[in-house]
């Protein structure tokens, strides 16, 4: 009997459920869909609250490192060195709101969904294959036991003799080396 190949829709669903695809989709959503919403919240609600303490627009908050910080009437350029920390504060608030919205509306539900899917999968209770270190320890212990009993040493790996996995005649090894 041949194995059944998953259908096109099952393969597409598996592709969509991979972590990288979901993370990429979340990144696109962060960059596109929530930007306008978050900007509206920051500009419409947060900036006016912060603006009650000073200028109406949060982005107008700035400090002067080197005076004079004023616009030159002749060239129209700002004289001095201006640090526009209000722009940084506004962008930071926008980022935090965006991250919170994405986490609570997308990441948290997706993690719960994945946990439910993992809970439905059958649990594999079979014993894992022994590692190379475990096999080497088993061989060492067998050789020590045979040496102590005065028997010729034979190579056994994982309870089977030889390299092919089929029982073979015992092969004495030289333990005196």
152 and 80: one domain? Answer: no
Q: Which of 74, 90, 120 is the last residue of a domain?
A: 120
- d(Cα 83, Cα 65) in Å, to the nearest integer? 7
19 and 96: one domain? Answer: yes
In a domain, 2, yes or no: no
Tokens of 56: 């109406």
67 and 113: one domain? Answer: yes
Any idea which residue has 């390299």 for tokens? 163
Q: Which domain holds residue 97?
A: 8-120
* CATH code: domain of residue 66: 1.10.1200.120
Q: Model's pTM, two decimal places?
A: 0.44
Q: What is the pLDDT of residue 108?
A: 92
Q: What is the pLDDT of residue 153?
A: 55
Strands 63-71 and 78-83: antiparallel
Cβ count near 128 (within 10 Å) = 7
Which residues lie below 8 Å from residue 21, measured CB to CB, with a gap of 6+?
15
- d(Cα 88, Cα 59) in Å, to the nearest integer? 8
- d(Cα 175, Cα 146) in Å, to the nearest integer? 10
Q: Phi, psi (5° rounding) for residue 67?
A: -75, 160
Q: What is the pLDDT of residue 155?
A: 55
As for how many domains the chain has, the answer is 2
In a domain, 25, yes or no: yes
3-state SS, residue 98? helix
Q: What is the pLDDT of residue 19?
A: 64
Q: What is the pLDDT of residue 133?
A: 92
Q: What is the pLDDT of residue 149?
A: 86
In a domain, 125, yes or no: no
- d(Cα 34, Cα 23) in Å, to the nearest integer? 15
In a domain, 1, yes or no: no
Q: Which of 120, 140, 166 is the last residue of a domain?
A: 120
Over the chain (177 residues), the average pLDDT of each successive run of 10 is 68 75 77 76 76 71 78 75 84 81 85 91 83 93 90 56 46 49
């Amino acid at each position: 009997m041949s194995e059944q190949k998953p259908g096109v829709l099952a393969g597409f669903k598996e592709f969509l459920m991979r972590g990288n695809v979901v993370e990429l989709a979340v990144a696109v959503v962060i960059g596109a869909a929530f930007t306008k919403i978050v900007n509206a919240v920051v500009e419409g609600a947060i900036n006016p609250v912060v603006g009650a303490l000073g200028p109406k627009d949060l982005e107008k908050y700035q400090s002067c490192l080197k005076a004079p910080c004023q616009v030159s009437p002749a060239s129209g350029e700002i004289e001095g060195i201006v640090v526009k920390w209000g722009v940084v504060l506004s962008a930071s608030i926008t980022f935090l709101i965006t991250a919170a919205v994405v986490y609570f509306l997308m990441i948290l539900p997706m993690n719960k969904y994945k946990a439910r899917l993992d809970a439905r999968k059958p649990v594999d209770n079979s014993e894992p294959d022994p590692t190379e270190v475990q096999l080497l320890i088993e061989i060492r212990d067998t050789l020590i036991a045979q040496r102590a009993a005065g028997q010729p040493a034979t190579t056994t790996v994982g309870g089977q003799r030889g390299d092919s996995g089929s029982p073979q005649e015992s092969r004495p090894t030289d333990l005196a080396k």
